[in-house]
Amino acid sequence: MAYQVNGQTVEHDEEGYIDDLSDWSPDVADVIAEAEGIDMSDEHWAVIEFLRNYYDEYQIAPAVRVLVRAIKKEMGPEIGNNSHMNRLFPGGPAKQACKIAGLPKPTGCI
C-alpha cells in the first residue's frame, strides 16, 4: 500500500502508518490528513510539530497526557485539553496525529 505524493510513492502499512520515517514531509502529512478526513489548521500543525520534535528527542511518541499538557503549555488551555484535542484528531490525538506526523503507531494503541 502506498500514498502518492508529488510523484513520489510513500509506502505504508495496512493502517496508513508510513513504513520509512525519512519519507515524511509536510506534503505527505497533507495527503495522510486528507485520507483521514482532516483539513489541517495551524493547531493541527502545532501538534504535528510537537510530536515530531518529541519523537526526535526520545525515539517514542508521547502518551496522550504528555501531549495534551505540552500543547496546553504552548497554546493555552482552550486548545490543550482532551476534548479539543479529540475534536482536532477524532481518530485519537495520539494515534491519528502520529500517523499524520509520519511516526510509528504509538505503543498501547489498538
**Which of the residues 31, 46, 66, 109 is marked catalytic?**
109
Superfamily of domain 2-100: DsrC protein, C-terminal domain (1.10.10.370)
> pLDDT tens-digit profile of 49-96?
999 999 999 999 888 898 899 889 988 999 899 999 999 999 998 899
3-state helix, strand, coil in the chain (%, to 5): 50, 10, 40
Which has the closest alpha carbon to 95: 65, 64, 56, 72?
64
Specify the pTM. Answer: 0.91
Cell numbers found for residue 86: 479529540
Active-site residue flag, 109: yes
Q: Is the pLDDT of residue 110 over 50?
A: no
